[in-house]
């Protein structure tokens, strides 16, 4: 085999490998979750939810400005862990000072990980923590993040009517939203809104 043929063969192999990796990434980020499993949450409900171990990144600022970096940091940590990476994990956030219409928020972005994970890389911009749940009120919001207010109000009214009160932070789980490469259609975003609650 000549030197030119060998170089050409190496280039072809590298291109095939790169195409395979790129194809895997595109498949992973476009397949998304089965949205049918969340349809029952279009009506608000209260359930007893088990606590979850998460990797969390603290953030403060306008969510649209700071969320991208936080999510990037989370997935960098996640892909270094010994976990099943075949099923996409939806990012979630807890906002400590959430008020409808408020622009600047403080909170945490997180990804759920199994309890078999006992540590994260030392240099990671995040921490391994448990998120408490227990009695939890939740509802599915379908649409843009800017249009959540009516859904949040519906959930709060339900909580009150059922004889509960909110005791935890405002939480959102981003089931379907903007992708890595495209914004997608905001009218088709799926966001689960949650509050920890207790009986009055």
pLDDT single digits (tens) 66-77: 777 888 888 899
Least confident of 28-32, 45-49, 52-56: 28-32
**Residue 107 or residue 127, greater confidence:** 127
Reported for 156-164, long-range contacts at CB under 8 A and 24+ positions apart, including other chains, are 156/195, 158/44, 158/46, 159/44, 159/46, 159/195, 159/197, 162/46, 162/137, 163/199, 163/200, 164/46, 164/135, 164/137, 164/197, 164/198, 164/199, 164/200
Lowest mean pLDDT among 10-24, 34-48, 50-64: 10-24
pLDDT of 159 over the 90 cut: yes
Structure tokens at 125: 């911009």
Distance CA(93)–CA(111), nearest Å, equals 9
What does pLDDT average to over the chain?
82
* Report field, pTM of the whole predicted structure over 0.95: no
Tell me the average pLDDT across 188-192.
92
Q: If 0-12 CB within 10 Å is exposed, 13-18 middle and 19+ buried, where does residue 33 land?
A: middle
| Stretch (H or E) spanning 154 | helix 149-161
- Please state the CATH superfamily assignment of the domain spanning residues 36-199 in this structure: Regulatory factor, effector binding domain (3.20.80.10)
């Amino acid at each position: 085999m000549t030197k030119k043929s060998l170089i050409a063969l190496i280039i072809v192999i590298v291109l095939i490998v790169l195409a395979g990796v790129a194809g895997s990434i595109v498949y992973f980020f476009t397949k998304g979750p089965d949205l049918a499993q969340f349809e029952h949450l279009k009506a608000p409900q209260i359930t007893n939810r088990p606590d979850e171990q998460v990797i969390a990144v603290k953030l403060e600022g306008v969510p649209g400005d700071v969320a991208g970096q936080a999510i990037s940091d989370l997935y960098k940590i996640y892909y270094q862990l010994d976990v099943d990476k075949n099923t996409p994990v939806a990012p979630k956030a807890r906002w400590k000072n959430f008020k409808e219409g408020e622009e600047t928020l403080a909170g945490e972005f997180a990804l759920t990980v199994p309890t078999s994970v006992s540590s994260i890389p030392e240099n990671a911009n995040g921490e391994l923590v448990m998120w408490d749940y227990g009695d939890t009120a939740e509802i599915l919001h379908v649409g843009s993040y800017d249009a959540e207010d009516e859904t949040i109000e519906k959930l709060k009214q339900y909580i009150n009517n059922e004889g509960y009160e909110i005791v935890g932070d405002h939480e959102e789980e981003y089931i379907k939203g903007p992708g890595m490469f495209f914004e997608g259609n905001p009218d088709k975003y799926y966001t689960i809104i949650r509050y920890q609650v207790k009986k009055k």
